[in-house]
Amino acid sequence: MTTGQQRALIHLDEPYTHQAVVEALKKSALDWDVIETIPVEDQDLDAPLQWLEYELINWSYLASRPDSAMANAYCIRKGLIRKAQFGYNVAKYLSKNPTSILKEAIPETWLFELDHVDYFEEAMNEVFEVERDLLANENDESNHMFIIKPSLANKAAGIRVFNSLEQLRTMFEENELSDSEDDDDMEDLSQVREWVIQRYIHNPLLVHGRKFHVRAYVLAVSNIKVYLYHDMLALFAMKKYNLDELSDTLVHLTNTCIQTEEEEFDEETSVRLFWDLEQHGVSKARLDTMFEKMQHVLADVFDACASEMTTFQAMPNAFELFGVDFLLDENDGVYFLEANAFPDFKQTGKQLQHVIQELFEATTTVAIEPFFTGRPQASEKLVQVYHKELLSL
């Protein structure tokens, strides 16, 4: 048990997030000496708590003090956040647990590897089910739709919806030609070799005719307890849903980061609270049902990943907040889309900034204070969805 004032190193690149963390620690029951400036030559500054960008965390310091020092990230968690590795872990998990909710909650997924557009046909042969369905589309036998995503990227870079081989090939030809045009804010997609293709959920739940996804915040603590934060976001596409406009990202992609430069962007209609959807035609009973399903999905997601210690290691002296995206369909189905480490909290916007502030305060209460005091604490904002005692390395 630790008492007295202790140092906390705090540095997060986004001021929106950084300040919320500092304020949460100031409200903590523990007495923190918050250090916000970290000189490069002072990386070994003695501080029991590190809440830093991943690249700044002193892992050696953590390893040498397993009972007295804590950080805000797990060192290894690619089995959860890297789409291709996550797909592999889920497939392996379902082979052992065929009745898992993940069987319905994970869209049908294929790993797609392409070194160069010249090898496009050979790469498509490796995902023959996708190729088969796209060829059927050409013969007017059906309308199979797919979505492709880089295995590891952010800000919706490279995500496309398609229903023909030509659309998919054109995307890679454009990537090769553009070479990102020196845009420092976007991924260099011409260098991406690993992608995932998923069957597109064509019947999403719509509100006012627009598609949305749920951004949930998930707290993983030690090795391991997992909590779902009650106050989730509903992030809306900018334009009304239309299956005849597959190439229009503002119709199908709900990431607000691709909307903010648009003249018509309106934060109030693009970012809402999930529970406020009751005021927009979705009953409280339906919201409750979907929230419960999310809890079951997360339990099996973490069970699938935590079982694979080479790609996910839950450290006893760490915690991490993940941004998890869910899609809901018109039949109240819940689909797990992806988990993001160090999510973009800023997309919450100004009007709902209190959601993030309260999230960090709850994290301080549930994850940090118990580690240093030895006294477990709870928060009404965090719902525990998973608990398993894992071996420590």
User: Given its phi and psi angles, is residue 85 left (phi above 0), alpha (psi -120 to 50 degrees) or beta?
Assistant: alpha
The answer to whether residue 24 is domain-embedded is yes
Q: What is the distance between the alpha carbons of residues 336 and 294, in angstroms, rounded to a whole number?
A: 8
Question: Do 235 and 126 fall within a single domain?
Answer: no
The answer to whether residue 297 is domain-embedded is yes
Question: Do 162 and 226 fall within a single domain?
Answer: no
Mean pLDDT by 10 residues, the chain (393 residues): 78 94 96 84 76 95 94 97 93 96 96 90 94 91 90 74 93 69 51 89 96 97 97 94 91 78 77 95 97 98 94 96 97 96 83 91 98 95 96 63
Cut 0.85: pTM above it: yes
Question: Do 258 and 344 fall within a single domain?
Answer: yes
Question: Do 223 and 352 fall within a single domain?
Answer: yes
pLDDT in the model for residue 218 = 98
Question: Do 63 and 172 fall within a single domain?
Answer: no
CB 50 within 8 A of CB 57: yes
pLDDT in the model for residue 190 = 63
Contacts with 240 (C-beta within 8 Å, 6 or more apart), sequence order: 209, 210, 251
For 11, 144, 247, 282, 287, the CA distances from 205, given in Å and listed in that order, are 38, 19, 20, 9, 12
Question: Do 191 and 225 fall within a single domain?
Answer: no
CA angle 306, 311, 315 (to 5 degrees): 60
The answer to whether residue 88 is domain-embedded is no
Question: Do 258 and 343 fall within a single domain?
Answer: yes
Question: Do 273 and 140 fall within a single domain?
Answer: no
Looking up residue 112, the CATH number of its domain turns out to be 3.30.1490.20
The answer to whether residue 346 is domain-embedded is yes
How many domains are there within the chain?
A: 3
Looking up residue 263, the CATH number of its domain turns out to be 3.30.470.20
The answer to whether residue 148 is domain-embedded is yes
Question: Do 64 and 123 fall within a single domain?
Answer: no
The answer to whether residue 84 is domain-embedded is no
Domain that holds residue 186: 108-199
Q: Which stretches does DSSP call E strand in 188-333?
A: 194-199, 206-207, 210-221, 225-229, 233-236, 271-273, 319-328
Question: Do 278 and 142 fall within a single domain?
Answer: no
Given 50, 71, 92, which residue is the final one in a domain? 71
pLDDT in the model for residue 371 = 97
Question: Do 313 and 194 fall within a single domain?
Answer: no
Question: Do 221 and 333 fall within a single domain?
Answer: yes
